[in-house]
Structure 1
Amino acid sequence: MTALTLVIPIFGLVVIGWLAALTGVLSERVSEGLSEYVFAIAIPALIITTLTRPGMSGEIAWGYWFSYFGGVAVAWATASFIGIRREGVDRRGAVLHGFAASQSNTIFVGVPMILQAYGEDGAFPLFMLLAVHLPLMMGAATFLIEADGNRSLKDRLQGLGLVLIKNPIFLALLTGMAMKVFGIIPGGMVKTLLSDIGSTASTCALIALGAALRRYRVLHDLPGASIIAALKLGVHPLAVYVLAFHVFTMPTAYAGVAVLFAAMPVGINSYLLAARYRTEQGVIAASLLVSTIAGAATTVGWLLVLGRA
């Protein structure tokens, strides 16, 4: 029931966005503008608010990072390998397939689910992983998408640097981390503005996703979307589970947090990135929807495996 009460409202927002676009309440121009707002304003505000939150402290062993991102590597490589062999999918599309299969929906589903399962014991490893997850995943995806086989490594890195400087999410991460290091905590009107804008990210992103489903042939994209969803909900958490519980040593709560983090549905950032580069939007949007629906059952399964349901 915990999983269902978290997933059903999320799916409901997607349906509202889809119905709004289907009935003409939201035009295509408005839905595209909503996606831009989420990517450029709402999510950056949410990132700064999260990274400057006071309180949490602890120690993270290297095994924790290797367990989670080792699972990421397995899911990403598998999805990219399958994607590049599908008709009509180019190199950039294969990168996005891999990114979607390993990019977790953490803010919208993961945070409340994991905090309910592990409480205070899971708060520190959760938010540390959240802080590292986005820049590392977005950086890797951006580098691979922007990479040109005819360019030198130096040119690729310079190109990536230019892309990141213009990326609102990376700018927000840099700002939030710098504020954390120097002990700057937003207060007063600034805190209120950041909090109010950041609180719109989830709702607007999911409605924008639902509106996008109206523009794409979701049924046509279901085979590819189902593969991505299966890798995200099955292969990714399974690989993390094996590494966290049977290869590396760490507190049980840390291992459980890593597994549940990996077991979340496809993250909204994969759709936003696909929309940004205007490629594979249909299959990525469909994979987010499929994985969110199926995630209600698979998350309950992982909670049972971890002894938390």
Structure 2
Amino acid sequence: MFNTLAIIFPLIFVATAGYISAARSFLTAEHLSGISRFVFYISIPAFLFVNMSQAELSKAVSLDVMLSFYLPVIGLYLLVLGFYRCRCGQWSISAIRALGACYSNTVLIGLPIAMQALGKHVAATVFVIITFHSALLFLLTYSFAGKEQRVTWPNIIRQLVINPVILAIALGLLANAANLALPKVINEGLTLLAEPAIAGALFVLGANLHHYQIKPGIKSALTLTLLKLAVLPTLVYLTATYGFALAQEQTLLLVLLSASPLGVNAYLVSKQLQRESATLASAVVLSTLLSVVSFVLWLAVLSS
């Protein structure tokens, strides 16, 4: 039986510290902007590159694990897309809402939760799973939204390539495949940059929650939050358990990743496409707050 409070509390503590720092104006918007840029453009990419390049991917790669995660993700995306397409008649709105129902904050929340609950040895599997996560869902969203907007394929590819998370993972994969050994001093430098990644990301996440509003698009945000925190992990659980008969630890890992709240990058995509940004901002806040309940329930159910 996992001690769910011991697993979740340290992460909540760091995020709460960020929220209080922003709410009490201890850190100004300019301060937070600088911290965010360091975390998301330097520390997290260094963390992902170092871990991806050193991970024992041969032991972590499993087609059954990948399918158990991605079949429900793609299936739910297409179902939500079709539902809203029939309801509102607009591809762009439908694509953004489908993204809001399926895009998990795997790096900032899913990975720390999984490592706290199951141990650091699951990191390699997590990195393999999240390798295609942003690229796949962003590609689907840009493709469907592009039916109504002037979104060209060169621009889509550019947005994917310059994404620091995708770029860091891709470079880490290449280094791993080439068995590239970086000079010791460079590796140690990257490792130092990577150390504050998780804590920094959680701190910034908490600080940003102070600035997001919940009221705009509250009804749609609640629907997306329910799909994200309840429906998607349930589908992943059923697929992993009855479709591919995965081990308990693998199933729990996939469920925790899929039960992670909506990632902020989905909101940024909505801002870029100028569709549903208020709804997704609200969904980010709601799903992040309610994910505590979701994690506790899933940990309690699957660890018994």
TM-score scaled by length of structure 1: 0.77
Between 119-128 and 173-182, report the one with greater CA deviation: 119-128
Name the structure 1 match of 2:54.
Answer: 53
Where in structure 2 are the equivalents of 1:237-256 lying within 5 Å? 237-256=233-252
Name the structure 2 match of 1:10.
Answer: 11
Identical-residue share of aligned pairs (%): 24
The one-letter amino acid paired with 1:246 is Y
Aligned residue pairs, count: 303
Alpha-carbon distance change, 114 to 214 in structure 1, aligned in 2, over 3 angstroms: closer
Contact 1:240 1:262 in 2 (8 A): yes
> 2: CA distance between counterparts of 1:6 and 1:186?
34
The one-letter amino acid paired with 1:231 is L
Alpha-carbon deviations, 1:130-175, whole Å to 9, x = none? Answer: 3333443344445555x25477xxx843332233333333322221
Contact 1:7 1:109 in 2 (8 A): no
Following superposition, the deviation at residue 281 of structure 1 comes to: 5.0
Following superposition, the deviation at residue 37 of structure 1 comes to: 3.7
TM-score scaled by length of structure 2: 0.78
Structure 1 residue runs of 5 or longer lacking an equivalent are none
Contact 1:21 1:211 in 2 (8 A): yes
Structure 2 residue runs of 5 or longer lacking an equivalent are none
> 2: CA distance between counterparts of 1:198 and 1:298?
28
> 2: CA distance between counterparts of 1:12 and 1:282?
27
Name the structure 2 match of 1:25.
Answer: 26
Alpha-carbon deviations, 1:161-200, whole Å to 9, x = none? Answer: 2333333333222211111111114453322332233333
> 2: CA distance between counterparts of 1:217 and 1:86?
26
Name the structure 2 match of 1:171.
Answer: 167
The one-letter amino acid paired with 1:68 is F
Name the structure 2 match of 1:184.
Answer: 180
Alpha-carbon distance change, 139 to 54 in structure 1, aligned in 2, over 3 angstroms: same
Name the structure 2 match of 1:217.
Answer: 213
Contact 2:77 2:101 in 1 (8 A): yes
Alpha-carbon distance change, 8 to 282 in structure 1, aligned in 2, over 3 angstroms: farther
Following superposition, the deviation at residue 81 of structure 1 comes to: 5.7
- 1:195 equivalent to 2:191? Answer yes
Name the structure 1 match of 2:70.
Answer: 69
Following superposition, the deviation at residue 129 of structure 1 comes to: 1.4
Where in structure 2 are the equivalents of 1:1-309 lying within 5 Å? 2-55=3-56, 57-58=58-59, 60-80=61-81, 92=92, 94-115=94-115, 117-118=117-118, 125-144=125-144, 147-149=146-148, 156-271=152-267, 273-274=269-270, 280-306=276-302, 308-309=303-304
Contact 2:77 2:102 in 1 (8 A): yes
Following superposition, the deviation at residue 252 of structure 1 comes to: 4.5
